[in-house]
Amino acid sequence: MASFDVNTTGDDVLKQFSQYAEGKTFVIIGPSENGIGAESAITLASAKPHKIILINPDIEVSFVVIDLLDNKSVRQAAEKIKTLTDKIDFIINNAGVMAVKHYATSVDVVESQFAANYLGNFLLTNLLVKEIVAAANMGRGARIVQVDSLGYQLGETNVEDINFKEKGITALICHPGVTLESKLLVNSSVDNESFADAYVLAIKRNDGNPLPPQNMVTLKQAAGVVLFTALNPSFRKAAPAFIVENAIYTETKEYTLNEETAEGLWKLSEKLVGETFVY
């Protein structure tokens, strides 16, 4: 098998794993222009998937329009997706914002970054579980990929950890790397001073030790991490797992693995979206 590292692109991944994408249905949230989601979708197209459903707040071609800051919009998007397919093999929760310039809340009065990066994806994924399970029940497995960041180390932010292994579904989180080619920073308040402050905080939270240097990656390499996480069959047994530089990350902070905190986040999320999900 070919080796995969920080230099791996989406095209490299498909050379090895295209058979796991062929004939499958993908849902990708946040395929904005010059973004990781769009690059992932463009690359996937060469693997002859059955269908790629793209969810985007600004563009509608054969896309599904969604506003992750509005639970009503998320529910409408889920209903639209259900008219397009009855099976979802992969759902890639890629949409997100970072360090927005001005404090804002969602339509449902939830802080905007929490709502866009987590809560909207939480609601949409749960609303589509029936379709995800339907794909898994065909014996080929199904996968939920949450595109995330090593930035979680700056604070005790808990990532959602849905483990559907008993239903043939694997849940994975990936850090696609740091790229300046996407538009993530366009509406961000991050500047050199903010980066310096964050670095000091990171060292403090890491027991005074500097974090390993982050390799800058291209958009194609970032998409490579997303597709590697989605298509690599070996991750099925490893899930739930955090994928960094195309390998399972073994230095995950202990607080993210606290089951009591995760349960509390799940219950809070249900309260915020006004619906209970039982599996």
3-state helix, strand, coil in the chain (%, to 5): 45, 15, 40
Q: Per DSSP, what are the bridge partners of residue 169?
A: 142
Q: Say which amino acid occupies 199.
A: Y
34: left (phi over 0), alpha (psi -120 to 50) or beta: left
Burial of 14 (0-12, 13-18, 19+ CB in 10 A): buried
Q: For residue 186, what pLDDT band results from cuts at 50, 70 and 90?
A: low
Structural domains of the chain sorted by starting position, each given as residue range(s) with its CATH number in brackets? 10-272 (3.40.50.720)
Q: Please give the Cα distance from 197 to 205 (Å, whole number).
A: 12
Overall residue count recorded for the chain in this entry: 279
Average confidence (pLDDT) over 7-20: 92
pLDDT in tens, 127-181: 999 999 999 998 778 999 988 877 666 655 443 432 234 567 888 988 888 887 7
The residue behind tokens 């409408």 is 76
In contact, 132 and 142? CB cutoff 8 Å: yes
Percent of the chain with pLDDT over 90: 28
**Beta sheet of 142-147, edge-to-edge order:** 64-65, 51-56, 25-29, 90-93, 142-147, 169-175, 241-244, 247-248
Q: What are phi and psi of 169, to 5 degrees?
A: -115, 135
Predicted pLDDT at 164: 35
pLDDT in tens, 216-267: 889 899 889 999 999 998 888 888 888 988 888 888 878 788 888 888 889 9
Q: Please give the Cα distance from 182 to 38 (Å, whole number).
A: 10
Q: Please give the Cα distance from 168 to 147 (Å, whole number).
A: 20
In contact, 36 and 176? CB cutoff 8 Å: yes
Range in 182-186, 190-194, 215-219 the model is least confident about: 182-186
Of residues 83 and 200, which shows the higher confidence score? 83
Per-residue pLDDT for 33 more than 90?
no
Q: Please give the Cα distance from 194 to 189 (Å, whole number).
A: 8
**Average pLDDT across the chain, whole number:** 82
Per-residue pLDDT for 90 more than 60?
yes
Average confidence (pLDDT) over 5-31: 89
Q: Please give the Cα distance from 182 to 176 (Å, whole number).
A: 11
Predicted pLDDT at 71: 95
Structure tokens at 256: 């993210």
